[in-house]
Amino acid sequence: MKMGVELEAARSVVNDKLIFVKVHLPWDVLCTYAEILHIKMPIETNDLPSEQSPLRWFIRCFYPSEDIIHKEQEYFTAPFQKDRLDHFLVQNKDHFFTPSMRSRMANYILSRAVYEPKGKTKFGISKLLDGGVYKAAYPLHDVKKKKYKSESSNERYLLYTEWANPLSFYKMQPLDLIRKYYGEKIGIYFAWLGFYTFMLTLAAAVGLACFIYGYYTRETSTWSKEVCDPQIGGEIFMCPRCDKQCTYWRLNTTCETSQKLSIFDNYATLVFAVFMSIWVTLFLEFWKRYQARLEYEWDTVEFYTQEEQPRPEYEAKCVHERMNPVTQVGKGSRPHTSVTLQFLPNTQLSCGIGTVLFWIALIIVSVVAVIVYRLAVFFAFSVSLHRDIKHIKELEPLTGYVTPQMATTVTASLISFVIIMILNVVYERVAIWITDFELPRTRTDYENSLTLKMFLFQFVNYYSSCIYVAFFKGKVVGYPGQPVYWLGKYRNEECDPGGCLIELTTQLAIIMGGKAIWNNIQEVLLPWVKNLMFRRCSQQTSEQVLPRWEQDYQLQPVGKLGLFYEYLEMVIQFGFVTLFVASFPLAPLLALVNNLFEIRVDAWKMTTQCRRMVPEKAQDIGAWQAILQGVAILAVVTNAAIIAFTSDMIPRLVYYWSTSMALSTNHTMEGYINNTLSVFKISDFTNFSMPEDEYRDFRYPPGHHEQYKFNIYYWHIIAAKLAFIIVVEHIVYVTKFVLSYAIPDVPERVKEQIKRERHLTQALNLKLKLGNFKPVADKLREHFAPLKYTNVPQTGR
């Protein structure tokens, strides 16, 4: 109240012991803090001609109706100054500052209001919330429903009907209204999510075309037909996959697996992987242009160049000041001492890095544990499935579908997913604790520090199992008679005869699908159930008898990092879509469907199930932009490596252009399967291993002077794989660089608008300066008016 805020208390209708304190900011207080926060307000209507698309008649179908959500008037703006109020377009004081601006200023005041319990000076509503003095602090929603048919100012109702409506899934989002109601930070998130979803449509269409191509050619591929042919695959006896208990098996028993593999491992996959590398570059470059336009329209162009306010938690612990080199004004510096401990900033940073590395090591240990599980369970599945199918004739049709390899992959993927979810919950609290301990100065610094910690952990947590299957599984297995063992006990895991690509596809599908289902349960079901239970417990079912502030109190609170988890969820999905897309062309399609549902679910949750978030200013998506660029660069390497080392693409191409040409005058893939198998002599087995006949490798046959060593064909394939990675990487990287250079980050029209706005701002400042000198000029004119000058040169002044 000493800071000019008006407070009003109201007793709860449901609970007499509960008091609501309503906060109101008068006009004078709003003007004062609008200047402190550098809020930009309109000074003149935008007089530049707007762009008119020739397809506007068609594009209009994908936008909300302008009759319902009116188009915002465009203005040139300048930082608000209280003493220059007459130069701003103030048509109505009640609507000059938007609700999000008012809430932002109110939160700024409440976060810094001083109080003195027991003689100790403290400040901030956060301290009162932590101490239990207040139960909650939140901005008010508009009423949930429109009261009158003629009412059009209810922004929450418009968002609920046009944005949260699932039938509007094909429409663009009303971003200006979202920004006006929730603030720029939430607006920029949904703008990014909508743009990412829009760009996914092209990737999903191409990926679906590759999948359809693979599906219809699975039975016509030469290598798949050779595996399924009783005269070829049926006559080839393969090695037992475990010691002693496993038996010989015919190659054609993997016919179904081979046909499934052909759906994802074909020449279209190579084209799609290169396409996705170009797509991700176009996505990032066009997003920069779209973001630049939003920065101008939402007045956040100079947000970071202005002095960002410190966090209340930082100000509360500051013990000394240092000079700001820019403004030459005292600026709060980080404390070097605490009440109980003494830590230098470097010590805090080292502690944070050490904790993150420890948790990453813990993830690696969990991955190794899953690998040991796969090795142990594969043996059990091999014995039990063979025994059950042998004694139960009804299970014989399942032999082509339920193989020991597939059963092991599915169960291990499910276990990996459960471990990932558990570690996420635990590490989340650890990461927040570390970041609080580091005490970043501003909100942006805090979020960037937490973002880096969480993403490094999540990257290892979500992608480690996929990286193992893609690049390590089946690579070091030895050969019959001398297999490689883990811990001297477990025989190293082998891939299917067609490679590990189908297992990687299964792993991705389970983790992506499971993560999407789990997140939607958390975002939809849990808030709805909690709100329902709260209303049941309060014995209040009708909203009409409750005031607006009490209805909002019954909604679910949104944590300080609520938007952070939304970003994290989408960026992890972006990694699945780009890093391993060569093994799963349907990943963009799954992501597209999930995002169309995600946008409407988030909108429904924010407008109906959660309290209104405190509006915050944001210029861009922050540290997530750099993370996305890093993922895009890494995606080129991972997809090239998947095609080279995980799929059978390079061995097929080598066979097609070299071996088959030597065998016949025409290029053909006939004989490819037999070419990938090596022969082992049963008499060369040790007592520990079971006899084997043929195995998948490129080694010299028994009787050769270098028997069981890698043959020259193996080294040809290794050279071809390395050459493929180098050539593809350089071509894609050069293309990405050219596209990045050719596409400007800021559209030309936005540059013109920024220049026009700066010109108007400079003209306004000049006018004000001249206005300040006008009284002095009038006195000088009166004083020198009687004087007459003679003999003044013509060129003189």
Write the DSSP symbol of residue 659: I
Per-residue pLDDT tens over the stretch 167-198: 888 888 888 889 888 988 899 999 999 999 99
Mean pLDDT for the stretch of residues 707-722: 81
| Exposed e or buried b per residue across 562-583, where buried means at least 16 C-beta atoms within 10 angstroms of its C-beta | ebbebbbbbbbbbbbbbbbbbb
Please, what is the Cα angle at 211 between 396 and 227, to 5 degrees? 40
**What's the rounded Cα separation, in Å, for the pair 39 and 105?**
10
Query: What average pLDDT does the segment 129-155 reach?
Result: 73
Packing angle, helices 184-216 and 267-297, rounded to 10: 160
pLDDT (tens digit per residue) in 120-135: 777 788 888 878 889 9
Helices 712-742, 623-641: inter-axial angle, 10-degree rounding = 150
User: Which DSSP string do the residues of 392-431 spell out, in sequence order?
Assistant: -GGGGGGGGTS-HHHHHHHHHHHHHHHHHHHHHHHHHHHH
pLDDT of 340: 34
Residue 450 has pLDDT above 80, yes or no: yes
Interatomic CA distance for residues 313 and 127, integer angstroms:
9
Q: Is the pLDDT of residue 40 over 80?
A: yes
Q: Is 471 helix (H, G, I), strand (E, B) or coil?
A: helix
Query: Where is pLDDT greater, at 356 or 466?
Result: 466
The SS3 assignment for 736 reads helix
Q: What is the pLDDT of residue 434?
A: 81
DSSP state of 645: I
Q: With pLDDT > 70 as the criterion, what percentage of the chain qualifies?
A: 76
Between residues 102 and 229, which one has the greater pLDDT?
Answer: 102
Determine contact, residues 363/461, Cβ cutoff 8 Å. Answer: yes
Question: Which pLDDT belongs to residue 778?
Answer: 64
Task: Give 341's pLDDT tier (boundaries 50, 70, 90).
Answer: very low
Share of the chain above pLDDT 90, in %: 10
Q: Tally Cβ neighbours within 10 Å of residue 705.
A: 6
Which residues lie below 8 Å from residue 273, measured CB to CB, with a gap of 6+?
A: 581, 582, 639, 640, 642, 643
pLDDT in tens, 195-218: 999 999 999 999 999 999 988 887
| Beta-ladder partners of 710 | 699
pLDDT value at residue 730: 86
Each residue's pLDDT tens digit, 733-745:
888 888 888 888 8
Q: What are the tens digits of pLDDT across the range 652-682?
A: 888 877 765 555 556 677 777 777 777 777 6
DSSP 541-600: --STTS-HHHHHHTSBPPPTTHHHHHHHHHHHHHHHHHHSTTT-TTHHHHHHHHHHHHHH
Confidence of residue 506 (pLDDT cuts 50, 70, 90): confident
**For range 739-763, the mean pLDDT:** 80
- Lowest mean pLDDT of 255-269, 347-361, 420-434, 586-600, name the range: 347-361
The backbone torsions φ and ψ at residue 404, rounded to the nearest 5 degrees and listed phi first, read -55, -40
585-614 residues labelled b (16+ CB within 10 A) or e (exposed): bbbbbbbbebbbebbbbbbbbbbbbbbbbb
Distance in angstroms (rounded) separating the CA atoms of residues 261 and 574: 24
CA distance 344 to 350: 10
pLDDT of 718 reads 84
Backbone φ, ψ for residue 378 (5° rounding): -60, -40
For residue 364, the model assigns a pLDDT of 78
The yes-or-no verdict on residue 17 having pLDDT over 50 is yes
Q: What is the pLDDT of residue 151?
A: 47
**Res 383: pLDDT:** 60
Mean pLDDT across the stretch 148-164?
A: 73
| pLDDT band, very low/low/confident/very high, at 780 (cuts 50, 70, 90) | low
Give the pLDDT band (50/70/90) at residue 147.
very low
Query: Of the ranges 56-70, 273-287, 507-521, which one carries the lowest mean pLDDT score?
Result: 56-70
